[in-house]
Structure 1
């Protein structure tokens, strides 16, 4: 149902470094930077697998933390996402594992990004 979404980040380069590493295991990467003349000088970039679907927009006020979940194609991708996000400076908010209180096949992992957003990778298929 969601076509794309964006978050506000305080330090674009720090967030880009984090998401470059955290998204790689999910097969996603930075696909586009919006030219500064269209953003009023703010850095805006979009991540995705085949088109930009997750956007970072640099601004001074990030507001309260949010929760974003990204689809993983396997439990191994969830594990790799968590490891990459931690290695990139993310803070653990839930190691990879089953979350049967959501659904019997719900396998997810959670990290806080540099701005305190709760970022998740989740696989809904049985291993």
Structure 2
């Protein structure tokens, strides 16, 4: 449905370091960049961020994960990159029985999620 999503960040350098590290476990990497902006993506979907104006109030962005291990790796990488835990990896049956996700707050206060909808055995 989307070609890309984008928003401004307060500190581009800090956000670039955070997103590069946090999204690597999901197979996402920088696909294009310029002065004050970068696009991270894979398979035609791109996530854009830059420093062209004020950062928006907190938003929520969910990234697809291929499996539970990717959700766990995203959470660990995002925390190591300076993110704040907002929900450890685990099932969220209030959404549906196979909803496995983790949540992290980024440097601008945005709620990032990695989610896998595949049913796997709990670890």
Which TM-score tier does this pair reach, normalised by the shorter chain? over 0.9
CA RMSD of aligned residues (A): 1.2
Structure 1: distance between partners of 2:112 and 2:75? 10
Map 1:107-118 onto structure 2 (within 5 A): 107-118=100-111
Aligned to 1:121: 114
CA distance in 2, matches of 1:77, 1:29: 15
- Please give the per-residue CA displacement for 1:1-51, whole angstroms capped at 9, x wherever unaligned: 2221012101111000000111100000011014x4xxxxxx121001244
1:59 CA displacement: 3.5
> Secondary structure in 2 aligned to 1:2?
coil
Residue of structure 2 in register with 1:15 after alignment: 15
Instruction: Tell me the TM-score normalized by structure 2.
Output: 0.92
State the aligned residue count.
Answer: 120
Give matches, 1:53-64, under 5 Å: 53-64=46-57
Q: 2:98 aligns with which of 101, 105, 108?
A: 105
| Structure 2: gaps (5+ residues) | none
Deviations 1:77-116 (A, max 9, x none): 0000000000000000000000000011000000000000
TM-score, normalised to structure 1, is 0.89
Distance 1:113 1:69 in 2: 13
* Moved >4 Å (runs of 4+): none
Please list every run of 5 or more consecutive structure 1 residues that lacks an aligned counterpart in the other structure.
37-42
